[in-house]
Chain A
Amino acid sequence: MDQLVTLLKRAMPFQMVPDDTLKAIAGLAKYESHAQGDVIYHIGDYADDIYIVSSGSVQHTLGIGTQATHLDKTMRSGDVFGWAAVLENQRSRLAKTVCLERTELIRINGEDLINLFKASPALGDVVMSRFATMINKEFTLPEAVAAQVPHFTQAQATMATMATGLTLTMFRVSQWLKSPKPYLMLIGFSILLGIWYFTVEVWKLPRFEDMPGLTVVVKELFSKDPTYGLSLYTPEYYQHVWVSLRRIGIAFFLATILGVPLGLFLGWSKTFREYVFPVFETLRPIPILAWVPLAILMFSGSETPVIYLTFLASFFATALNTMLGVETIDESYSRAASCLGASKWQTFREVIVPGAMPFIFTGLQISIGVAWFSLVAGEMVSGQFGLGYVINTSYTMVRYPTIVIGMVTLGAVGYTTSAMVRMAGDYMMQWRVRELALGGR
């Protein structure tokens, strides 16, 4: 079977076909062996099967009147002949074929092959257009013959070849549910929650007795009348989430629209980098908390300092990764672009920006993570709403279960934003998604 698949892969029309379909095609194939001088078919015979040479060689002589420039052709291992079997109106042989030596062939029924492709018209179209090319180029037959290769409906074909982000996501979700991953994930969560439950509420380990237990937190979270004033049923909960999200949104947006261009220019222009990078590298390692006093002095109110702190952390992560992204772009891409007549600015737009895209999105993933980190730090120090504020005030006011509600919410919201950034990346980098999908990742 594997041998068959390898042989099919070498045959020109099937080169683009994925392995599982090749296996299906291989299922249609029959092996046969011929001695030297055996005639496989004559001109005018009914064409039912196509043939692929496995070993040996076959002389292929086209009949007069087919207007080919080269009438004779020797077929060797991996060559395909007998393609009249996939033509639409021409089910008779146009050539005579004779084995020149001991030859092994595989034969595939043309009708079966076409039926197989009806299930995946996109693929069928690729294979059939390659058949047409082969007939036209290798057998130097006129286009009219090649044009008889069947076409699968174009609309269907384009739909299938252009896997959009959504269908891809749906496919991934269904694959994920079929894999053991979700169940392993459940086990992981159960272990975490189990440890929490047993250490705090069952064993009551020393120093753990004051901690809010799993059941207390869950009850509080789903209570319509929460003891400490915050649960899924109170509007305040959503107000805190909303305020935090809004701050993250503004800060992340600003960090992206400023950080990405800065990083691109840092990576692209040596001169610009000489000016800016030393300053950038001096400011970057300063911990966000060290900025708190200055942020409060610089900005009035309670909102802007928090946004500023959040922005700052995001900005550095984004800019640095974007710069690294530009640096890792293979020089031959820019060289190729200049060969092909692209100006400096065109090269920037067509090569540097898309080439750095994978790194930019890695940067944005990191950026959204540190954004939440500095947001909570900022909200604990100043600010009147937000999840960080909830955690901090709940601590001072001894509302311990509320602290955990704040933490769990941060985890969930943080995960969601991170996933959204990843999805945006997949959407913008279809080329990468498809490349990685082919690599089985």
Chain B
Amino acid sequence: MSAVLQRSAMSEKVALQGAIRIEDVVKIYDPEGAAVMAVDHCSLDIPAGEICMIVGPSGCGKTTLLNAIAGFHSITSGKIYLDDKLLCGPGKPMAEPGSDRIVVFQNGALFPWKTNLENVAFGPLMQGKMGKKEIYEKARSMMADAGLSGTEHNYPGEVSSGLRRRVEIVRALMNNPKVLLFDEPYRALDSLTKSVMHEALLEIYYKNKVTIFFITHDLEEAIFLGHRLVIMTSRPCKPKKILDIDIPHPRDYSVLTSPRFRELMDETIEVVHEEAKKAFAAGEKEG
């Protein structure tokens, strides 16, 4: 009860922008005449300021959904809204990519030919909304806030992978996005670095309060970070089980050993495993 209260209290205080509404979205790939359904009548409401964790077996179509929101892929039918703005729907199969929804990519997409600072400044520089000097000042101070001072003039290839991910999130936040779309960003990190990254992400979230759409395979990560957990079916993808994670925020790593955390793990692990087995039997390619 208290957790629910706390959440609603928080979402009131929080940004009121950045709600995503996915309505009956279908995506059919038709590469060689053999229609493959990747997303099957999927509906999902994500309130503004929520961390929504999407868990599902490899290749189930989670990333297709993310790409549709980001504007990288078209959808076959259905609608996706950001707040009240129609991103894609009938007559407009593909959303326009924009700086209100920024993707943090699986393998990281910091430009290796730009220094960390230039990477962070990239968005505003391209949009040309602020003066150059202002942009670099803001970039420096945001990097300092995220504990990245001293790495401004390094190239991404010179710093650790954990640090790179942090720079990438700061690069996204420079644009004041309404939504951050994470496509398994910590997949390649070792578990120690991962735990540091999780806490850092939450810290950034508490300061910025954006809506987070976060795809992962890692159930522990999902429960630790999210307000809500959406477990997807194996392909075609649609929500199979939606679970409120009633552990109060702000959280830190001590949550992992709490009894409630274990309970939630137990509750979900079976569902996830079942879908993973189905996906494995169908021999779907990871993606």
Chain B: minimal CB distance from A128 (Å): 9
Taking a contact as CB atoms closer than 8 A, the residue among B102, B111, B151, B157 that contacts A333 in the complex is B111
- Bound Cα distance from A130 to B192, whole angstroms: 20
Interface digits, B117-154 against A, CB 8 Å rule (1 contact, 0 not)?
00000110011000000000000000010010111010
9-residue interface stretch from A223-231, A369-377, A430-438? A430-438
B163 closest partner in A (C-beta): A15
Chain A: minimal CB distance from B216 (Å): 17
Q: A330-B109, A354-B111 are in contact. Are A339 and B150 (CB under 8 A)?
A: no
Interface size on B, residues (CB 8 A): 38
Chain B: minimal CB distance from A414 (Å): 29
9-residue interface stretch from B2-10, B26-34, B93-101, B258-266? B93-101
Interface digits, A331-373 against B, CB 8 Å rule (1 contact, 0 not)?
0110111111111001000110011010000000000000000
Chain B: minimal CB distance from A60 (Å): 16
B188: interface (CB < 8 Å) = no
Q: Is the CB of B175 within 8 A of A357?
A: no
Q: Is the CB of B144 within 8 A of A350?
A: no
Q: Is the CB of B109 within 8 A of A162?
A: no
Q: Is the CB of A350 within 8 A of B157?
A: no
Taking a contact as CB atoms closer than 8 A, the residue among A333, A336, A339 that contacts B101 in the complex is A339
Complex interface: chain B residues within 8 A of A336 (CB): 103, 105, 109, 111
Taking a contact as CB atoms closer than 8 A, the residue among A12, A340, A431 that contacts B157 in the complex is A431
- Bound Cα distance from A118 to B71, whole angstroms: 51
B113 closest partner in A (C-beta): A354
Complex interface: chain A residues within 8 A of B71 (CB): 338
Q: Is the CB of B147 within 8 A of A332?
A: no
Complex interface: chain B residues within 8 A of A431 (CB): 112-115, 155, 157
Chain B: minimal CB distance from A1 (Å): 21
Q: Is the CB of A339 within 8 A of B99?
A: yes
Q: Is the CB of B157 within 8 A of A434?
A: yes
B107 closest partner in A (C-beta): A332
Complex interface: chain B residues within 8 A of A343 (CB): 126
Q: A137-B147, A332-B105 are in contact. Are A339 and B157 (CB under 8 A)?
A: no
Chain B: minimal CB distance from A357 (Å): 7
A255: interface (CB < 8 Å) = no
- Bound Cα distance from A291 to B127, whole angstroms: 49
Chain A: minimal CB distance from B268 (Å): 28
Taking a contact as CB atoms closer than 8 A, the residue among B97, B102, B122, B160 that contacts A350 in the complex is B122
B159: interface (CB < 8 Å) = yes
A97-148, CB < 8 A from B: 125-127, 129-130, 132-134, 137
- Bound Cα distance from A434 to B106, whole angstroms: 24
A284-302, CB < 8 A from B: none
Complex interface: chain B residues within 8 A of A130 (CB): 147, 149-150
Complex interface: chain B residues within 8 A of A424 (CB): none
Chain B: minimal CB distance from A435 (Å): 3
Interface digits, B151-189 against A, CB 8 Å rule (1 contact, 0 not)?
101010111100100000001100100000000000000
- Bound Cα distance from A334 to B192, whole angstroms: 31
Q: Is the CB of B102 within 8 A of A340?
A: yes
A351 closest partner in B (C-beta): B111
B148 closest partner in A (C-beta): A133
Q: A343-B126, A438-B157 are in contact. Are A350 and B99 (CB under 8 A)?
A: no
B70: interface (CB < 8 Å) = yes
B72: interface (CB < 8 Å) = yes
- Bound Cα distance from A287 to B35, whole angstroms: 46
- Bound Cα distance from A341 to B121, whole angstroms: 12
Taking a contact as CB atoms closer than 8 A, the residue among B99, B127, B155 that contacts A435 in the complex is B155
Chain B: minimal CB distance from A125 (Å): 7
Q: Is the CB of B70 within 8 A of A335?
A: yes
Taking a contact as CB atoms closer than 8 A, the residue among B70, B126, B149 that contacts A337 in the complex is B126
A437 closest partner in B (C-beta): B158
- Bound Cα distance from A134 to B148, whole angstroms: 11
Q: Is the CB of B103 within 8 A of A133?
A: no
A276: interface (CB < 8 Å) = no
Taking a contact as CB atoms closer than 8 A, the residue among B113, B122, B172 that contacts A429 in the complex is B113
A334 closest partner in B (C-beta): B109
B71 closest partner in A (C-beta): A338
Chain A: minimal CB distance from B166 (Å): 12
Chain B: minimal CB distance from A120 (Å): 13
Taking a contact as CB atoms closer than 8 A, the residue among B103, B123, B155 that contacts A335 in the complex is B103
**Nearest 7 pairs of A and B residues by beta carbon:** A435-B157, A340-B123, A336-B109, A126-B150, A354-B113, A332-B109, A338-B97
Q: What 8 new A-B contacts, CB under 8 Å, besides A435-B158, A438-B157?
A: A10-B192, A162-B153, A339-B98, A339-B101, A340-B126, A350-B126, A431-B114, A431-B157
